A = this chain, B = another copy of it.
């Protein structure tokens, strides 16, 4: 297997952090996303939507979508379970993974894309859209802050892929002008705990 990635981008980082939590090593191939290497015809043959990361399986199948790649590794290396140890935990974790993906990760990534000078050449940046993503992110974090008042991790079942999803998105947008609001003390505690895990710097 080979994992095509671009280290600074949030979706490759999700997979990298997931593998670090699993203690799994895989051959990695760097693709220069800022230089546009993911948009060449040769790379689109692997990833038709020009997405990273891509996992190349030994039979020549290419997998894209971070969460599909993570779930594939969960099947190969079930311990520790990060998608849930039983059917009900799996459903609860998937629910939380999606809640934080839509409420935090996606708006966080779009917010930085619409506001970062470094990313300005990649797409048209729109102030109104940036403001909507900022508000969605604040709403998502506010909801999570309330939930984290009563527990340590995103899913009530314990540490899971949902924590990685939320952390990587939030951490990405903190490279721009966004800061965790000071009154969101539960999110701040959770963020600091996630940042302290060795996997966060994998």
Q: Does A39 contact B (CB under 8 A)?
A: no
Q: Does A95 contact B (CB under 8 A)?
A: yes
Bound complex: CA A57 to CA B87 (Å) = 12
User: A91's contact among B49, B71, B103, by CB below 8 Å, is which?
Assistant: B71
Judge whether A94 and B65 touch: CB under 8 Å. Answer: yes
Judge whether B71 and A92 touch: CB under 8 Å. Answer: no
Q: Which residue in chain B gives the minimum CB-CB distance to A62?
A: B95
Contacts of A76 in B (CB 8 A): 87
User: A88's contact among B57, B64, B87, by CB below 8 Å, is which?
Assistant: B57
Q: Does A69 contact B (CB under 8 A)?
A: yes
Judge whether A68 and B98 touch: CB under 8 Å. Answer: yes
Q: Say yes or no: A48-B98 contact (C-beta < 8 A), given A57-B88, A71-B91.
A: no
Judge whether A63 and B75 touch: CB under 8 Å. Answer: no
The 8 A CB mask of A98-118 against B (1 = contact, 0 = none) is 110001000000000000000
Judge whether B65 and A99 touch: CB under 8 Å. Answer: yes
Interface residues of A in 18-55 (CB under 8 A from B): 48-49
Contacts of A88 in B (CB 8 A): 57, 61, 72
Contacts of A184 in B (CB 8 A): none
Quote the shortest CB–CB distance from A148 to chain B (angstroms).
13
Quote the shortest CB–CB distance from A43 to chain B (angstroms).
16
Judge whether A143 and B69 touch: CB under 8 Å. Answer: no
Bound complex: CA A95 to CA B55 (Å) = 11
Q: Say yes or no: A68-B87 contact (C-beta < 8 A), given A48-B143, A49-B143.
A: no
Judge whether B49 and A63 touch: CB under 8 Å. Answer: no
Judge whether B48 and A63 touch: CB under 8 Å. Answer: no
Contacts of A65 in B (CB 8 A): 94-95, 98-99
6 A-B pairs with C-beta separation under 8 A: A48-B143, A63-B91, A71-B94, A72-B88, A72-B91, A75-B90
Question: Apart from A65-B94, A68-B98, what 5 extra A-B contacts exist at CB < 8 Å?
Answer: A68-B92, A71-B90, A72-B88, A72-B91, A75-B90
